[in-house]
């Protein structure tokens, strides 16, 4: 790190924890700016390693291996939020870890995250902490049905969630969630879903991308369109203010994603991810600076780039499972940009790539 400017000069090495497509696209953005990336991931051949200078295979909980990894790089970031916070904390005396571990810990626990959002003026769906069947029955009384029981930790892409239509399903739902500490959430009657992608530099400068409208299928993001119109356009300023407050109060550095439901009562906070996000993939061709480049700029102490939209409308389609077999067709479509992640087997539900179309 060039201490004078607080900058990590191009030519330095960035350590990325996690080896999936987010790490792959972060590594490609780093290379464009002249950095080298090392990937730390438990898999033998993670797709990020194909485009990185080095891959270290190791368990996320192996503090010794993580410390060795940190010795070889100039800054550490992560592309995956289910990394145990303890071992990551111990890296901070070797190299800067960005976004900071406090932000990671907050985002790892749905309950703390919602409490934090409420204490900073945001509004999640009505929720209650649940640690027993009795708690769940009380929570169902208080919130009513339909409701969704979500594990506090390790949920993603709709996993770790059970929908409850009627209070007499409590015992089944508690068993299905594995009797794990959870949060019961009211089912939100929303018109649309959207996200706020914000990037914050170490001097506190913030840039926000235009909010995409997101459509999910089976709990997995299927499509993002930017800029989101109608109710999303109406509610993005209030949601953006909340995301900014969260980023400022956490002294956050890097890209932060907050997901919202646009409802008749205003924006309802769903969850946050302390990282680049699938709903920001459209920014690679659709914005002046992509989420990946701005994340790298932020963690390296460089000035942030313009986040303006580069077309009237931008659409990102995820290629999930067998949908990636249509790759040749996308190459024949004008103003469509194909991204394949180089993953082997196209299992159902697996994110194999995406396409961004500019209109
Ligand atoms: P999550 O993993 O919490 O983002 O949930 C995945 C998807 O499930 C969301 O994008 C929504 O489509 C739906 N969902 C989650 N929580 C709720 C809720 N409280 N009310 C209505 N739909 C929800």
CA 148 to ligand 1 centroid distance, Å: 8
Higher pLDDT, 90 or 2: 90
What tokens appear for 358 in the block?
A: 């500019």
Is it the case that residue 314 has pLDDT exceeding 50? yes
Ligand 1, atom 1, lies closest to the CA of 158
Query: Which pairing describes strands 13-17 and 36-41: parallel, antiparallel, or unpaired?
Result: parallel
Question: Is residue 1 scored above 80 in pLDDT?
Answer: no
| Any ligand 1 atom below 6 A from CB of 125 | yes
Q: What is the pLDDT of residue 123?
A: 98
Residue 220's Cβ-count burial label (10 Å; 0-12, 13-18, 19+) is middle
pLDDT (0 to 100) of residue 158: 66
Mean pLDDT value across the chain: 96
In angstroms and rounded to an integer, the radius of gyration of the C-alpha atoms of the chain is 20
Measured distance CA(228)–CA(226) in Å, rounded: 5
Say which residues have a Cβ less than 8 Å from residue 341's Cβ, sequence separation at least 6: 20, 21, 24, 47, 351, 352, 353
Q: Is 67 in the pocket of ligand 1 (CB under 6 A)?
A: no
Query: Average pLDDT for residues 265-278, to the nearest whole number?
Result: 97
DSSP state of 279: G
Please tell me the chain's helix, strand, coil percentages from 3-state DSSP, rounded to the nearest 5: 35, 30, 35
For atom 5 of ligand 1, which residue has the closest CA? 158
Q: How confident is the model over 38-95, as pLDDT tens digits?
A: 999 999 999 999 999 999 999 999 999 999 999 999 999 999 988 999 999 999 999 9
Going from the Cα of 158 to the center of ligand 1, the distance in angstroms, rounded, reads 7
Select from 270, 278, 349 the residue to mutate for testing ligand 1; criterion: most ligand atoms less than 8 Å from CB.
270
Pair of tokens at residue 281: 């993939």
Strands (E), the chain: 13-17, 36-41, 54-57, 75-78, 127-130, 147-151, 161-164, 182-186, 190-200, 206-208, 213-217, 220-226, 254-263, 266-273, 314-320, 336-340, 351-358
φ, ψ dihedrals at 326, nearest 5°: -85, 15
Does 238 have pLDDT greater than 90?
A: yes
The CA 102 to ligand 1 mean position distance, Å, reads 24
Q: Is 60 exceeded by the pLDDT of residue 181?
A: yes
Residue 35's pLDDT band, with cuts at 50, 70 and 90, is very high
Q: Write b or e for each residue in 139-173: b if 16 or more Cβ atoms lie within 10 A of its Cβ, otherwise e.
A: bbeebeeebbbbbbeebeeeebbbebeebebbeeb
* Segment 321-357, tens digit of pLDDT: 999 999 999 999 999 999 999 998 899 999 999 999 9
Percent of the chain whose pLDDT exceeds 70: 98
Residue holding tokens 């389609």? 317
CB-ligand 1 contact for 148 (6 Å cutoff): yes
- Under CATH, to which class is 13-97 assigned? alpha beta
Q: How far is the CA of 154 from the centre of ligand 1 (A)?
A: 15
Asked whether the predicted pLDDT for residue 245 surpasses 60, the reply is yes
Q: Please report the pLDDT score of residue 258 as a whole number.
A: 98
CB neighbours of 119 closer than 8 A, spacing ≥ 6? none
Asked if residue 306 has pLDDT above 60, the reply is yes
Average pLDDT over residues 296-311: 98
DSSP structure string for 210-245: PPPEEEEETTEEEEEEES--HHHHHHHHHHHHHHHH
Mutate to test the pocket of ligand 1, among 148, 151, 160 (most ligand atoms within 8 A of CB): 148
Q: What is the pLDDT of residues 121-171, one digit of tens each?
A: 999 999 999 999 999 999 999 999 999 999 999 876 667 899 999 999 999
**Superfamily in which the 126-186 domain is placed by CATH:** ATP-grasp fold, A domain (3.30.1490.20)
- Which CATH superfamily includes the segment(s) 192-358? ATP-grasp fold, B domain (3.30.470.20)
| Cβ neighbours around 116 below 10 Å, total | 18
- Please give the distance, rounded to the nearest whole angstrom, from the Cα atom of residue 54 to the centre of ligand 1: 37
Q: Is 307 in the pocket of ligand 1 (CB under 6 A)?
A: no
Question: Under a CB-based contact definition with an 8 Å cutoff, are residues 69 and 15 in contact?
Answer: yes
What's the pLDDT band for 269 if we cut at 50, 70, 90? very high
Q: Assess whether pLDDT exceeds 60 at residue 2.
A: no
How many angstroms separate the first and last alpha carbons of the chain? 41
Q: If you average pLDDT over residues 200-209, what whole number do you get?
A: 98
Q: Are 273 and 252 in contact (CB under 8 A)?
A: no
- Give CA–CA dist 68/63, Å, rounded: 9
> Could you tell me the residue ranges of all domains in the chain?
13-97, 126-186, 192-358
Q: How far is the CA of 13 from the centre of ligand 1 (A)?
A: 37
| Whether the CB of 257 sits within 6 Å of ligand 1 | no
The model carries a pTM of 0.96
- The band of 3, judged by pLDDT with boundaries at 50, 70 and 90, is very low
- What's the pLDDT score for residue 5? 60
């Amino acid at each position: 790190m060039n201490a004078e400017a607080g900058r990590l000069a191009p030519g330095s090495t960035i350590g990325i924890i996690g080896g999936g497509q987010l790490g792959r696209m972060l590594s490609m953005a780093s290379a464009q700016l002249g950095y080298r990336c090392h990937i730390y991931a438990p898999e033998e051949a993670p797709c990020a390693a194909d485009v990185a200078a080095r891959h270290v295979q190791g368990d996320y909980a192996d503090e010794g291996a993580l410390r060795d990894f940190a010795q070889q790089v100039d800054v550490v970031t992560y592309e995956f939020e289910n990394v145990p916070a303890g071992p990551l904390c111990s890296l901070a005396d070797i190299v800067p870890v960005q976004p900071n571990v406090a932000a990671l810990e907050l985002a790892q626990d749905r309950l703390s995250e919602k409490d934090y959002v409420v204490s900073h003026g945001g509004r999640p769906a009505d929720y209650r902490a649940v640690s027993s069947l009795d708690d769940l029955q009380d929570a169902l009384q208080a919130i009513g049905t339909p409701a969704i029981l979500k594990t506090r930790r390790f949920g993603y892409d709709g996993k770790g969630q059970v929908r409850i239509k009627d209070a007499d399903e409590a015992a089944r739902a508690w068993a299905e969630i594995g009797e794990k500490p959870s949060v019961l959430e009211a089912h939100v009657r929303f018109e649309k879903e959207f996200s706020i992608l914000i990037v914050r530099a170490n001097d506190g400068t913030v840039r926000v991308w235009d909010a995409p409208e997101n459509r999910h299928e089976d709990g997995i993001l299927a499509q993002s369109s930017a800029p989101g119109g109608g109710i999303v356009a109406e509610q993005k300023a209030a949601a953006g203010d909340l995301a900014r407050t969260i980023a400022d109060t956490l002294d956050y550095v890097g890209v932060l994603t907050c997901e919202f439901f646009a409802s008749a009562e205003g924006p309802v906070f769903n969850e946050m991810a302390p990282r680049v996000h699938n709903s920001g993939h459209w920014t690679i061709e659709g914005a002046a600076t992509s989420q990946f480049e701005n994340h790298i700029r932020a963690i390296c102490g460089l000035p942030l780039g313009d986040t303006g939209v580069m077309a009237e409308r931008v659409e990102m389609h995820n290629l999930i499972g067998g949908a990636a077999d249509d790759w040749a067709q996308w190459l024949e479509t004008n103003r469509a940009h194909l991204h394949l992640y180089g993953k082997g087997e196209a299992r159902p539900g697996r994110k194999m790539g995406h396409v961004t179309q500019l209109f």
